[in-house]
Amino acid sequence: MNPAPSPIDWDRAERVALSIAARRRPISPSAAAPAPELAPTAVIEDAIHEVTGLRPPHGPAQVQFVDRPAWIRANIQSFRTLLAPLLDRWSEKPVGGKGAAANIARQVAGAEVGAMLGWMSTRVLGQYDILVGRRASDDAVYLVAPNLTDIEQRYGFDPAEFRTWVLLHELTHRAQFTGVPWMRDHFTGLIDTSLSFADPDPAALVGALRDALRNRRDAAVQVRDGGVLGLVASPEQRAVMARIGGLMSLLEGHGDITMTRAAGPLVPNAERFERILRERRRNTNPLSRTVMRLTGVEAKLNQYAAGVRFITAIETEAGERAVDRCWTSPDHLPTLEEVRVPAMWLARTGATVG
């Protein structure tokens, strides 16, 4: 008996994503080549270690310069691995029924995933990929060369310096996930738990959207915290998503702060880079802003800001290394509510000036 097909047509997802990515102005291979003056990965990781005390145990990262199609294919593979347990269950209860209806549903799902990845492939500058399902020592750091080159040419950025700046953020994430021994397993465990609650019944989606229209204030909060998934999540999922949201706010805020503090002589123009890209996000056109909201990118940007505010607040009260307490145990990670009200985390963990 042949296995049931995946509820997502991954081949269609790839075709749609590649089609969207191809609409952007191409960058010549010579213009997008890695800058030879780029700071060595080990030097960047030393700067991160000096600020955070975290160091990956498996040696310096292997940075891969990729084009948009390569980034798309890498992320489709990551999605397939990450979602495999959920999609296996959905295959047993096909979304959209059976036969032709199920096939249409698969193609629609594939097109939606492809549209999301295609749009993101034109925006993302760098990415740390923990490669779920592989050994902890297997990870990847991507720099998306066409997008970097586009920004560098548009704003007159020095390529070596700008790419070093982007790497500071991505390699900080690598230090977080591998330098904190339990972080990778804890994160993937939260994701697995969240997916285990997922309901393949499309009627649940319709009902959630109807409820959201009736109570737009609550819906806005749910979208802020988790993108569109926040609308369709069950109460159990929302509880797990709140833990994931707290963790990601911490990691993203810590990444941003480390990026600034570790820049030093490596990136003399770090402040200019940050200011221009912040202004660029603020002036995003309405269509792009809608896509950001639907894909959860806006939620990610909210996490950056909330995480920075949290770390700034706890450092004010408990010293400049207060965040180190978060790395001692999963129990010391802030919840989403604690990220918003840092005094709650300080009281719960007993963090004091040391």
Q: What is the pLDDT of residues 35-57, one digit of tens each?
A: 556 788 999 999 999 999 999 99
Does the residue 108 lie in any domain? no
Confidence band, pLDDT 50/70/90 cuts, at residue 162 = very high
Does the residue 7 lie in any domain? no
Q: Which residue has the higher pLDDT, 27 or 29?
A: 27
User: For residues 111-148, b (16+ Cβ closer than 10 Å) or e, as one string?
Assistant: bebbbbbbbbbbbbbbbbbbbbeeeeeebbbbbbbbbb
Does the residue 238 lie in any domain? yes
Task: Note the pLDDT of residue 82.
Answer: 80
- What pLDDT, in 10s, does the model give residues 307-336? 999 999 999 999 999 999 999 999 999 998
Task: Note the pLDDT of residue 215.
Answer: 47
Give dist(CA 64, CA 60) in Å, integer: 13
Does the residue 307 lie in any domain? yes
Q: Which of 306, 297, 320, 184 minimizes the C-alpha distance to 253?
A: 306
- What pLDDT, in 10s, does the model give residues 64-98? 999 999 999 999 998 888 877 777 776 666 555 55
Task: Name the residue range of residue 36's domain.
Answer: 28-65+122-349
- Mean of the pLDDT values across residues 217-228? 45
Number of domains in the chain: 1
Share of the chain above pLDDT 90, in %: 47
Task: Note the pLDDT of residue 92.
Answer: 63
Output the CA–CA distances (angstroms, integers) from residue 297 to 47, 119, 136, 350, in the order listed.
Answer: 28, 11, 26, 33
Does the residue 247 lie in any domain? yes
Does the residue 189 lie in any domain? yes
DSSP state of 237: H
Does the residue 4 lie in any domain? no
Confidence band, pLDDT 50/70/90 cuts, at residue 216 = very low
Task: Note the pLDDT of residue 269.
Answer: 97
Task: Note the pLDDT of residue 33.
Answer: 54
Is the pLDDT at 221 greater than 50? The verdict is no
Is the pLDDT at 253 greater than 60? The verdict is yes
Centre a 10 Å sphere on the Cβ of residue 19 and count the other Cβ atoms it contains. 12
DSSP state of 148: H
Is the pLDDT at 34 greater than 60? The verdict is no
Q: Which residues contact 347 (CB under 8 A, 6 or more apart)?
A: none
